[in-house]
Structure formats: structure tokens, C-alpha cells
């Protein structure tokens, strides 16, 4: 059903999973993104850090189709132009997004939250007559185990603790089985133990998926042990391992050394 038009481009990196080049977005004259470029390779885990207002959320909005960039190119899996599609299409292409504030379907059970996120045909009539088969139930049960919520399957998502909601939302992304996960501040408001478990979980996930994590918590970024991109005022300030980045003079000035 889904036609993915592949565009021949002169300079884009056809092997990348995510490719942003010269992306700018402005709101009422304020430049949220200013000539932002970076590339994520398949299977890579990337941490993105930056002070408030650096453009992290806008960047996620552009990748997931919520915001159209004024200029610049955004390509997924080498050839798919993301600027031409809407949220639902991009989600079905294989990009999952976790919001900063955990967003789950609070008045429905944990089980149904995962059922709703199941990969597959999402048309109105298909959904009206949808029934779960054994493989799909098994898949939901498997994810319930991964996010450690098996016991809570029948509880309303609204009754979960903050940390559990974060995990449920990650579980919902996994149900979509995306090629790329965009995870916005997954450990905000979590206890130390939960933070540690979340780092384990994300490292596990990154074995089979590409993951982009936006995070403030330096300890957590260190635990992820991945390449780091520092954003500042809508563009890339520095890129490299956490140690390299932390020793970068400009990064210390604008962010770490505050």
C-alpha cells in the first residue's frame, strides 16, 4: 500500500538511516533550527544534548512530519523524503517517537495501549473489524516482558507510575517495530534505579534498531555509551564521544560550563 518514492539526490548519503542537511525552521522570526545537518547510520545509537531552546524538539517535529522545514533536506533510509509526508505516514514508514512528557492512552489498559500500537494496516475499516491473532497476542506479551509491565497488563495506563508510563511509551514504540526510534528525555522524573534500567533497555533496543535519544541527564548519556551531538541555537555545535564533547571549549562555554 505504501509507495516509497526514492529520489535520486546528488549529495545525500544513501546508506544512512537518517540524513538531515541544511534544515532551517523559523517561527515568527525566531530561528528554531538554523542550517542543521547531521547523519545517523543504521544500527547507531545517538545521544543529542543541548540547552533549552536548542531546537531538539523542533528537530523531532521535522523528522516525524509534524513541522515542515522552511529549507533543507530530510531523508530516511537513504531515499525517502520525509518533508513530503504527514505524521501517520511517517510512523508507518518506521519512525517511532516518544514524547518528552510520557504520553500514553491513560483511560485504556496497558494491554490495549500496546495493541493500539501494533504494527500493521491502520485504515478505518481494517481497524473496525480488527481481531488479534495468536502471534500478535504473543508479541504484545513479549513486549510486556521487555518493559517489565506483565503484571500490570490489565491495569489502566493512567494508574501507572511516571517511570512505568515512560516505559510503556517505549513499549508502544517497540510494538510499531520501527527502524528508527526517536526518544525524547526518557529518564526525566525517574528514580536512579529506573534510570539505570532504562539505559539497559535502550542499549538492548539499539542492538536491533537505530535510536536517537535527546537527554539532559549527563550520567544517563554516559551510561548509553554512544556518539553525542551537541545542539546550540538550532545547529550542531560539536559531535563525537561524550569525553571529546565535554572537553570542547565552545561546548563548555555554552552548555556544560554554565
Partner 1 sequence: MADAMYKTNKGPFVSLMTGLPGGGKTFLGILLVAALLVPLSNLLLPASSPFHVPTYLVSLMGKYVCFALLALSVDLIWGFAGILSLGHGAFFALGGYSMGMYLMRQIGDRGVYGHPILPDFMVFLNWTELPWYWYGFDMFPFAILMVMLVPGVLAFVFGWFAFRSRVTGVYLSIITQAMTYALLLAFFRNDMGFGGNNGLTDFKDILGFDLQATGTRLGLFVASLIALALGYLVCCFITQSKLGRVLIAIRDAESRTRFSGYRVEYYKLFVFVVSAVLAGIAGALYVPQVGIINPSEFSPANSIEVVIWVAVGGRGTLWGAVLGAFLVNWGKSYFTGSFPEAWLYMLGGLFVFTTLFLPKGIVGTSGTWIEKFKERRRGSPELAPAAAVKEE
Q: Binding residues for partner 1, per CB under 8 A? A: 64, 66, 86-88, 91-92, 96-97, 99, 103-109, 111-112, 115-117, 122-124, 127-132, 137, 153-154, 158-159, 172, 176
Q: Of the two residues 66 and 203, which places its CB atom closer to partner 1 in the complex?
A: 66
Closest CA to 108 of 150, 159, 171, 144: 159
CB 105, min distance to partner 1, A: 5
Helix axes 192-205, 162-176, angle to 10 degrees: 10
Cβ atoms within 10 A of the Cβ of 58, count?
A: 23
CB 175, min distance to partner 1, A: 9
CB 108, min distance to partner 1, A: 6
- Residue 215: Cβ-neighbour burial (10 angstroms; 0-12, 13-18, 19+): buried
DSSP sequence for 66-132 = SS--SEEEEEETTTEEGGGS-HHHHHHHTEEEE-SS----TTSBHHHHHHHT-SS---HHHHHT---
Return d(Cα 19, Cα 30) in angstroms, integer. 24
CB 48 within 8 A of CB 229: yes
Q: Of the two residues 28 and 134, which places its CB atom closer to partner 1 in the complex?
A: 134
Q: Of the two residues 27 and 129, which places its CB atom closer to partner 1 in the complex?
A: 129
Please name the residues in contact with 234: beta carbons below 8 A apart, sequence gap of 6 or more: 24, 25, 31, 32, 33, 34, 35, 36, 54, 55, 58
Q: Of the two residues 37 and 103, which places its CB atom closer to partner 1 in the complex?
A: 103
CB 112, min distance to partner 1, A: 6
CB 238, min distance to partner 1, A: 29
CB 138, min distance to partner 1, A: 12
Q: Of the two residues 29 and 154, which places its CB atom closer to partner 1 in the complex?
A: 154
Q: Of the two residues 8 and 134, which places its CB atom closer to partner 1 in the complex?
A: 134
Amino acid at each position: 500500500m505504501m509507495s516509497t518514492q526514492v529520489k535520486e539526490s546528488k549529495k545525500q548519503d544513501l546508506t544512512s538511516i537518517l540524513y538531515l542537511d541544511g534544515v532551517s525552521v523559523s517561527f515568527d522570526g525566531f530561528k528554531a533550527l538554523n542550517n542543521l545537518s547531521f547523519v545517523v547510520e543504521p544500527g547507531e545509537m545517538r545521544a543529542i544534548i543541548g540547552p533549552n531552546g536548542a531546537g531538539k524538539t523542533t528537530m523531532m517535529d521535522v523528522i516525524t512530519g509534524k513541522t515542515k522545514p522552511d529549507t533543507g533536506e530530510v531523508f530516511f533510509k537513504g531515499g525517502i523524503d520525509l518533508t513530503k509526508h504527514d505524521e501517520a505516514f511517517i510512523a508507518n514508514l518506521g519512525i517511532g517517537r516518544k514524547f518528552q512528557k510520557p504520553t500514553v492512552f491513560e483511560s485504556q489498559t496497558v494491554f490495549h495501549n500496546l495493541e493500539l500500537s501494533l504494527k500493521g494496516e491502520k485504515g478505518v475499516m481494517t481497524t473496525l473489524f480488527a481481531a488479534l491473532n495468536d502471534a500478535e497476542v504473543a508479541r504484545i506479551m513479549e513486549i510486556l516482558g521487555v518493559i517489565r509491565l506483565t503484571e500490570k497488563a490489565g491495569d489502566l495506563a493512567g494508574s501507572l507510575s511516571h517511570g512505568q508510563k515512560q516505559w510503556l511509551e517505549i513499549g508502544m514504540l517497540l510494538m510499531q517495530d520501527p527502524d528508527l526510534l526517536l526518544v525524547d528525555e526518557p529518564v526525566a522524573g525517574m528514580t536512579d534505579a529506573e534510570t539505570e534500567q532504562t539505559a539497559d533497555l535502550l542499549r538492548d533496543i539499539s542492538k536491533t534498531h537505530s535510536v536517537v535519544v535527546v537527554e539532559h541527564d549527563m550520567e544517563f548519556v554516559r551510561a548509553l555509551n554512544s556518539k553525542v551531538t551537541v545542539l546550540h541555537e538550532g545547529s550542531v555545535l560539536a559531535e563525537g564521544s561524550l569525553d571529546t564533547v565535554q572537553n570542547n571549549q565552545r561546548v563548555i562555554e555554552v552548555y556544560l560550563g554554565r
